[in-house]
Copies of this chain bind each other. A is one copy, B any other.
């Protein structure tokens, strides 16, 4: 059953993930060969800086000419772990043109240009696999694309960025502010020197686009995903969440509308009840809830980032893609037949937690309540409290019932215009109930 000619793998990128992929390919070569049905050979490694010593990688395999490596006709599979849009996109396209299947961890590229890449793979009769692009080692792409292929997914809700979860967890457990928690995350290596992609929600939004696309059999691009980062979450927000029996998480939420005719995808901070399983996802861990018609509620949990976990997902895909190569077959490609429209954020149905600084005088609550009513937004709870220290101010904390995001944000704008409202201290959505 085992054939002798090895399958040749080109590795593009040899950073945190790439070096782990190379290491496992070397140390677990026999297992991989047994599972694939043929040995796999690392045929080349493209790097940016050739000088560095790379343990376990023969120096003659290392090249700085990624384009030439991706274009070699003897390569069976190209593993792309460079990240970013270019040169990754051109390299992957080159690989397809030369008959190689591609395994990638590149969420930004897939969210930006997934359909074109899928089409190129289809055209050249090769595979494009990307489990590592969703939540590293947590199996999500395969369960959504294959395990739930006979079911109807209605909702994907999860924590898909480890850096921001670490920051929010620290803010929640220590009372620290955002900057302080970010500093700690940076010091511990959980946040990069430039944390923008994580804290502004770009990373989570790319993952939301990928997951929504697979879950709803519809093309969803990064631009379709409403995105808010966590830079404006304050210690006061976290404290306010606590008073409601909630915590704050940066959530990626992909939903099918109640009438089934459209979908939405969004990333933003939200309060969720402490009793919700996602509330207990600590530190840099990730977890994703999937709600499907027949399956019910499933949850997937694990480390959503890091060299080894990401390499695990890449290697799982590598085994699958190699098996397909040997069988002369292809795995499931893009499934976008449903072509559901992606609705804007205004159409999302959610709840708001609104904290207002108001004048401490009679009639303020009645005035505010009128504004909610005028916008068709029903109030769940109101809490009035005096502001600490001198002055005549007070605060009003309102949690609404479910309404469209458009109605909720129009309500907030109208409240802002009231004379008696000195400021909107914060608004945050409430999810997971």
Contact = CB atoms under 8 A, between A and B. Distances in A.
Interface string A132-156: 0000011100110011111110000
B150 A142 contact: no
B149 A319 contact: yes
Interface in A301-320: 301-303, 306, 308-309, 311-320
A131 interface: yes
Contacts of A302: 295-299
Interface in A184-242: 217
A28 interface: yes
B299 A300 contact: yes
Contacts of A143: 139, 142-143
Contact of A296 (B20, B35, B309, B337): B309
A124 interface: no
Contacts of A296: 137, 302-303, 306, 308-309
A286 B74 CA distance: 46
A32 interface: yes
A56 interface: no
Contact of A301 (B152, B217, B277, B337): B277
Given A149-B316, A150-B319, A319-B146, A137 B20 contact: no
Contacts of A314: 150
A329 interface: yes
A313 B147 contact: yes
A329 B332 contact: no
Nearest to A31: B152
Contact of A315 (B20, B32, B149): B149
Contacts of A295: 137, 302-303, 308-309, 312-313
Contact of A309 (B24, B294, B313, B328): B294
Contacts of A319: 146, 149-150
A335 interface: yes
A8 interface: no
Interface residues of A, number: 58
A292 interface: yes
Contact of A34 (B137, B323, B335): B335
A327 interface: yes
B35 A294 contact: no
A330 interface: yes
B298 A299 contact: no
Contacts of A329: 324, 327-329
A280 B28 CA distance: 36
A323 B312 CA distance: 26
A213 B227 CA distance: 43
Q: Tell me which of A295, A313, A317, A320 has the highest count of chain B C-beta atoms within 10 A of its own C-beta.
A: A295
A311 B294 CA distance: 7
Nearest to A308: B294
B337 A332 contact: no
Interface string A142-186: 110011111110000000000000000000000000000000000
Contacts of A293: 308, 312
A320 B149 contact: yes
A316 B24 contact: no
Most buried by B among A137, A277, A320: A137
Nearest to A327: B329
Contacts of A131: 147
13 contacts: A20-B294, A137-B292, A139-B148, A139-B298, A142-B146, A146-B319, A148-B316, A280-B280, A295-B312, A296-B303, A296-B306, A299-B301, A323-B332
